[in-house]
Structure 1
């Protein structure tokens, strides 16, 4: 039979508490915002850097072209103006212009602006005089945002000046609105119109890079950054929540396993038997108490159990009552049984639970209580009768002794007197046993050596054993040396059992005494191969005054039973007619006595 499992579906709490969710948001949200802002800032810096590089390259390219054109191709102002206009036609170029040191526009990609004052000149800070330095600033114009790149404009280098073009830092006295000085060579005359304008000390070139085209890209980039940040935020939140959920799941699983283990342990160790059946009345599980009561659990429920379960399936509710089972191994069993259905969905029944207890033990206990009550009443009566009889017996014994001396010359009278004395003494012994049985029994518990106790008890009956040539066998297999008990009372018990065995055996019989360890103490066996006890008498042998011998008092085994009870032990008998009898005496150890 499979181990009994109790199915439990506990109410699972929320995997992640709300406070944990709030904590995760509080921790991750600032991180997400800072990361998003940092990426947006880096994107803006990257775009600005790209346009700054583009503007710087444009200025340097224009400056180099101007240098080549003015020095080798004899460009004039018109050609430079044309070149500015053509350059402004490139993508992302809003404007390009050249100004003097006072902000007057000398050349501009928009020809209409030539000769005017640059309207944002006042907003400029100090411009770099180093020809290798670049300055930049962001502007908002009517055409959109612009990144303006500025540099000092020097179209001639020292090598050009060294070829006799004259100084470049100062006004040229020979320049007069396009007229050529008579003392100049042909190359000088070709370049001088440009020098009249760009040969001053400070000229600056400005390139405005239009940011309008990248606004959409920036917006899309910002959107992408936010989306990626949100995905990262969701991923982090999901990961942390998943960790908490996994931890909560493991804790719930562990708690469920503990509850199931506890419930299984409770069911297995409950004192009542428990069996579950499926709708076809097949046994699906059983606890240890059920196996102990019923023995081997069948695959199909007993007919009486199936009948009660069928009644439940028809009428519903709970059925209970007393059930009688006939077990081959254990005989008749009377069970107090309760049957209830295990409901399923839609008013269906998925099985039955049978809870029962053994009434046989209760019946035995009731019988024992009745016996004890009867023995108590007999004991009180016996005590009173024994007290009243003992005094007349003393007088009768005295008169019998007197007559034996008085008529000592009459052998027949002397014999009669001796018989009277013997009978009086026998009656006195019976009364003594009766009083012993009736009065409260005192025991003196102490540590007692086991083997010497057995040897001593056998020595007390050695004479009687020898007369009938009874062979004695001892089998002492205990690992204990001592036991906590009353040695005098145990010796009295053993003597009574020995004498019963002697009376039951013929000559050359075998008396066996065995001692073994048991779970909760010590077991002593007294075995004989005598006539045995009839089955009809086996339940009465411990009753007072029950005897099968003509000269027996019927109190010996009753006293034995009482002594063992007072020592917190048990005594039982097994006997087969003509085969012999075995008495089992179980004496508890110290730990078992403390638990009682």
Structure 2
């Protein structure tokens, strides 16, 4: 059994196909790699989107800032203002203070630099990929082109290009007719100026371009932080992938270990179930305790014997549920051995109303290292075996007594008849009240007594025919008790009868059964010379009817109880010793049993069990008296 458990204790993957293991590992690697690349691409898109958002923000600031500066210049001096590209250059100079901005430039459609964060590059040409151009601003976003490349001057940059729409003045009237801006009331009027001043009229377009020209903003962002972030992300993805791979392998190994554990547990559970079923179905009682002395095993045979269920017994100590003689077997002396009766012994116990004789065998439980783990008690109910042995001994004794009685009766009765006849003859030869006549009467009486003894012996040894008929046992008990009630009252004995309401009829000889009841009742009365209580109870069970006659007399010593049914055994002066022996034979002829339960000084109970009547028509005759219970004081 240990070999089997060791075999199943190994993890299940030891028995798994290597191809299955390789396939599972490959699938796990594919899942981890796919997940890692997906995360990397997602993070790269997010970083690119952030760079585009920053470039778009810079371009929007450039457009808005140059426009605001240009309009502000117009408000100050409409006639004398800077060109729009000058305002763009100023905003670029301001934005170039951002450390992440490598360069910011304004170019035309040919790539000629109009404004640049590096003033030395104004007028040079930039080679960039221009996005799709629009004739004029629209509500939808302006397209933006971007590229990441390596430059000689700025290193690795994120280059974004978007179309730029410069702001040019249109034909705008002066603030008031006849006034020039800034000189209210000092001039001849609109389109007029001083004679010594030469100013152009309204500049509708800047000098640097025409209305049809297209311009573009080019922003170059530093990629150092972008690359560092992607590098950290790659490292994180690699570490995460390794961690997921390790977690996956650990999980797979854990599942394999759990599966192996389940297999071993299932094997152990099957073995335990088989062992439990085997122990539960054993015809002998099994009680086992653990190392702490608590009951761990309690099979069905023990439950049937004691009437205590397994759920009530398990987990408790033997002294809490078992009778004292059985609990004493589990007493521990520190060595795992019983300190009570012999480890292989016989006990006579009462379980309810049933007296049992048990054969007890106690064994210590040790493990492979000889460590004490508990005890197991095997209980065998040998009550029926002892009863059969007792009946065999009684049969042998009765056979011997019968053979002896037959010979004695044959050899003694003939001389007794002659002695009685001679005594009768002598009696009539002497006068009345003479000593000789009284002696002859005494001889006749003793001869008749001896003849009665021989007759009783013959009735005890010979099978007497029974007149079987349905017997109402309740009525028979009431009638027999009435015959001894007067004698009981004279002796100061209180009689009490208790009959179950549904006593079934028994098949028997009413006269012989009454003889048995009379013998038992008279024995009980004679045991209570100073008064007491005589109780008669009858009840039915599945097997038949049980009659219990209990007295409160002096009882029977334990060493004498085995002899009470022996012929000629008696403890009463003048008793013949055949009453209980004849009663036992009559009950046995009715296929019943009679037993004695007694303790010295505690009284005696005679238990008579008779089988039910087996009616031919399926009906069963019951007691006509019904339940009866009463007490009659002496």
Please state if 1:142 is matched with 2:150. yes
| TM-superposition CA deviations, 1:365-412 (whole Å, max 9, x none) | 987665433212123345566677889999999999999999998898
Tell me how far apart the structure 1 counterparts of residues 243 and 320 of structure 2 sit (CA, whole Å): 59
Report 1:246-395 matches (<5 A): 271=286, 287-288=318-319, 292-294=323-325, 338-339=363-364, 353=374, 371-382=390-401
**Pairing partner for 1:203 from 209, 214, 235:** 214
Check 1:212–1:162 CA distance in 2 against 1; reply closer, same or farther (3 A cut).
farther
Q: 1:127 is matched with which residue?
A: 134
| Residue in structure 2 matching 1:469, options 466, 482, 490 | 490
Q: 1:228 to 1:416 in 2, by over 3 A?
A: same
Partners of 1:459 and 1:473 lie apart in 2 by 13
What secondary structure sits across from 1:199 in the alignment? Answer: coil
Measured after TM superposition, the shift of residue 497 of structure 1 is 1.0
- Alignment check: 8 A CA contact 1:375 1:544 kept: no
Q: 2:597 aligns with which of 566, 569, 572?
A: 572
**Out of 549, 561, 580, which is 1:525 matched to?**
549
Q: Does 1:107 align with 2:114?
A: yes
Maintained 8 Å contact 1:105/1:113: no
User: Could you tell me how far 1:137 is from its partner in structure 2?
Assistant: 2.0
Query: Secondary structure of 2:323's partner?
Result: helix
Find the aligned partners of 2:225 and 2:527 in 1 and give their Cα distance.
Answer: 123
Q: Secondary structure at the match of 1:539?
A: helix
After superposition, give the CA deviation of every residue in 1:449-483 in whole Å (9 maximum; x if it has no partner): 75x453222134457x38x93455233467x4234
- For structure 1, the residue ranges without an aligned partner over 5 or more in a row are 1-10, 164-182, 279-284, 311-319, 326-332, 591-596
Q: Distance between the aligned counterparts of 1:496 and 1:84, measured in 2?
A: 137
Distance verdict in 2 for CA 1:42–1:568, change over 3 Å: farther
1:429 aligns with 2:456: yes
1:277 CA drift (Å) = 8.8
For residues 51 and 85 of structure 2, the distance between their equivalents in structure 1, rounded to whole angstroms, comes to 34
Q: Distance in 2 between matches of 1:125 and 1:384?
A: 140
Match of 1:174 in 2: none
CA deviations 1:26-49 (Å, max 9, x no partner) are 9x9789987786566445434422
Task: Give the direction of change, closer, same or farther, for the CA distance of 1:492–1:52 in structure 2 (3 Å limit).
Answer: farther
Deviation at 1:215, TM superposition (A): 1.0
| Change in CA separation of 1:275 and 1:550 when aligned onto 2, cut-off 3 Å | farther
Distance 1:559 1:324, change over 3 A: closer
Shift of 1:495: 1.7
Contact 1:136 / 1:150 at 8 angstroms: preserved in 2?
yes
Q: Matches of 1:197 and 1:570 in 2, distance apart?
A: 139
User: Structure 2: how far apart are the matches of 1:566 and 1:34?
Assistant: 93
Report the CA distance shift for 1:115/1:142 in structure 2 as closer, same or farther (over 3 A): same
- The structure-2 alpha-carbon separation of the partners of 1:152 and 1:13, relative to structure 1 and needing over 3 Å to count, comes to same
Q: Pick from 477, 480, 497: which aligns with 1:457?
A: 480
State whether residues 472 and 512 of structure 1, in contact with CA within 8 Å, keep that contact through their aligned partners in structure 2.
yes
C-alpha distance in 2 between matches for 1:567 and 1:203: 130
Call closer, same or farther: CA 1:491–1:357 in 2, change over 3 Å. farther
Q: Does 1:481 align with 2:501?
A: yes
Structure 2 residue runs of 5 or longer lacking an equivalent are 1-7, 176-194, 294-315, 348-357, 431-436, 613-634
- Equivalent in the alignment of 1:583: 605
1:215 to 226, 232, 235: 226
Contact 1:131 1:152 in 2 (8 A): no
Match among 565, 570, 573 for residue 547 of structure 1: 570
The equivalent of 1:49 in structure 2 is: 53
- In structure 2, distance between residues paired with 1:403 and 1:53: 159
> How far apart are the structure 1 equivalents of 2:534 and 2:197?
155
Answer whether contact 1:55 1:209 (CA < 8 A) is retained.
no
Contact 1:98 1:106 in 2 (8 A): yes
Aligned counterparts of 1:136 and 1:473: Cα–Cα separation in 2: 124
Cα distance change on mapping 1:294 and 1:187 into 2, 3 Å: farther
Distance, in Å, in 2 between the alignment partners of 1:221 and 1:185 is 67
Alignment correspondent of 1:317: none
Structure 2: how far apart are the matches of 1:77 and 1:357? 113
- Contact residue 519 and residue 579 of structure 2 kept, 8 A: yes
CA 1:210–1:414 in structure 2 vs 1: closer, same or farther (change >3 Å)?
closer
CA distance in 2, matches of 1:209, 1:336: 99
1:195-251 CA-partner distances (Å, limit 9, x unpaired): 3432332322313241514414642774698599889989x99xx99xx9xx99xx9
How far apart are the structure 2 equivalents of 1:573 and 1:300? 29
> Aligned partners of 1:299 and 1:386: how far apart in 2?
51
TM-score, scaled to structure 2: 0.55
Which protein has the bigger helix share?
1
Q: RMSD between aligned alpha carbons?
A: 6.7
Pair 1:444–1:585, CA change in 2 (3 A): farther
Count of residues paired in the alignment: 498
